[in-house]
Amino acid sequence: QAAADPVSSSDAPEDVPKETSSVSQNISDADAFKILLEMKMKKRQKKPTLPSTVTELDTEDGSKVYVVGTAHFSDSSKKDVVKTIQEVQPDVVVVELCQYRVSMLKMDEKTLLKEAKEINLEKLQQAIKQNGVMSGLMQMLLLKVSAHITEQLGMAPGGEFREAFKEASKVPFCKFHLGDRPIPVTFKRAIAALSFWQKVKLAWGLCFLSDPISKDDVEKCKQKDLLEQMMAEMIGEFPDLHRTIVSERDIYLTYMLKQAAKQIELPRASETEPRKYIPAVVVGVVGMGHVPGIEKNWNSDLNIQEIMSVPPPSASSKIFKFVIKATVFGLMGYGCYRIGQRTVQFILSMPAAQSYLQKLTEIKSQH
């Protein structure tokens, strides 16, 4: 800003030539960019001191990607993210979030803690409206797992993503990208991969998750992603579910990191000036459970079209959907019946009602 802002003539000393005082006025956008870029490069460490949770990857054109493996409920992960961004001064920061979860970046910890603990009918209706009955129910069940950990630890999830967002805003010319596959696609593909009985079994397991988290588990959070570990244990017996929730997202995250790591074009003073490119520096912030998959897929040619498609609902999905709807409406109908029956009995037991009925009986007998 100091390089780009013009200095007014009244502020310039009298002994300074007019040509010198007007230099800042004539500076081009390209020159201003170069000055700020040089300042950024000086701050960028050539041999950065990085946390042990960081994995360094290279592209064919010389760009560097620093993948920070985090635990979603860990203070040490937040510090790792901050240190990495400060050390490497990236051009792009990519986080394991999609547009459906981006709201958590601007919420404060207290609000997020409250939101994570409260799972109510309104949230369920919204999830079903947004993703469909089956995917909505699965989303709410997974939120229940997250809420269970939140309640036990007293810590809201996603702190490392909020820290990444804050630090990225402090780095000149740093872009912030959402790198995860949209939640509706993931859940719909996951549901389609399960048989009818697998869906019932998974829903049952998630509904009755209530094991307490010990102090040892809290300590494990600092080295391992507890949420992903619990999910891995639950979905371990469903290979197709593991493929859609973990493996396919590994591919998607890898693809997004490689897209972010494309060389950066420098601004030109004129259209005739040849184009110049420099390698990019990228920081990726992902759950540590995804790091091995990203490393595995890094040197592969990736096509995400297949994993972005949503298969049509199977016959078992339609049956399960019908059963859920029938159960809900059946319970609602029975509830209304019971309430109505009790209301009528209560009204009839009132003295005024009994007196009125007696008079009606007398009038009827007279006729």
Residue bearing the bigger pLDDT, 95 or 332? 95
The mean pLDDT of the chain is 75
* Most confidently predicted of 32-41, 58-67, 221-230, 258-267: 58-67
Q: What pLDDT, on a 0 to 100 scale, did the predictor assign at position 1? A: 33
Using the predicted structure, report yes or no on whether residue 244 has a pLDDT greater than 90. no
Using the predicted structure, report yes or no on whether residue 15 has a pLDDT greater than 80. no
4-8, 175-179, 231-235: range with lowest mean pLDDT? 4-8
How far is 243 from 86, CA to CA, in rounded Å?
A: 35
Using the predicted structure, report yes or no on whether residue 160 has a pLDDT greater than 80. yes
Is residue 233 a contact partner of residue 354, using CB atoms and an 8 Å limit? Answer: no
Residue bearing the bigger pLDDT, 131 or 221? 131
Confidence of residue 246 (pLDDT cuts 50, 70, 90): confident
Tell me the chain's radius of gyration from C-alpha atoms. 30
Q: What pLDDT, on a 0 to 100 scale, did the predictor assign at position 53? A: 93
Confidence of residue 55 (pLDDT cuts 50, 70, 90): very high
Residue bearing the bigger pLDDT, 354 or 273? 273
Q: What pLDDT, on a 0 to 100 scale, did the predictor assign at position 167? A: 96
* Look-up of token digits 């309430």: 339
Mean pLDDT, to the nearest integer, of 7-16?
A: 40
**CA distances to 70, 232, 359, 360, 362 from 366, in Å:** 86, 79, 11, 10, 6
Q: What pLDDT, on a 0 to 100 scale, did the predictor assign at position 270? A: 78
Using the predicted structure, report yes or no on whether residue 23 has a pLDDT greater than 60. no
Nearest residue to 197 via CA among 317, 311, 324: 317
Q: Which two tokens stand for residue 340?
A: 């109505």
**CA distances to 62, 144, 326 from 58, in Å:** 6, 38, 54
Q: What pLDDT, on a 0 to 100 scale, did the predictor assign at position 187? A: 81
Q: What pLDDT, on a 0 to 100 scale, did the predictor assign at position 107? A: 73
Using the predicted structure, report yes or no on whether residue 16 has a pLDDT greater than 60. no
Using the predicted structure, report yes or no on whether residue 170 has a pLDDT greater than 90. yes
Confidence of residue 75 (pLDDT cuts 50, 70, 90): confident
Give the Cβ contact number of residue 300 at 10 Å: 11
Using the predicted structure, report yes or no on whether residue 272 has a pLDDT greater than 80. yes
Q: ∠ CA 124-125-131 to the nearest 5 degrees? A: 85
| CA within 13 Å, CB half, 325 | 10
Mean pLDDT, to the nearest integer, of 241-262?
A: 93
Using the predicted structure, report yes or no on whether residue 105 has a pLDDT greater than 70. yes
Q: What pLDDT, on a 0 to 100 scale, did the predictor assign at position 9? A: 35
Confidence of residue 251 (pLDDT cuts 50, 70, 90): very high
29-43, 94-108, 140-154, 337-351: range with lowest mean pLDDT? 337-351
Q: What pLDDT, on a 0 to 100 scale, did the predictor assign at position 142? A: 64
Q: Could you tell me whether strands 64-70 and 281-287 are parallel, antiparallel, or unpaired per DSSP bridges?
A: parallel
Using the predicted structure, report yes or no on whether residue 131 has a pLDDT greater than 90. no
Q: pLDDT tens digits, residue range 297-328?
A: 999 999 899 999 887 765 655 565 666 666 65
| CA-based end-to-end distance of the chain | 100
Q: ∠ CA 167-172-177 to the nearest 5 degrees? A: 60
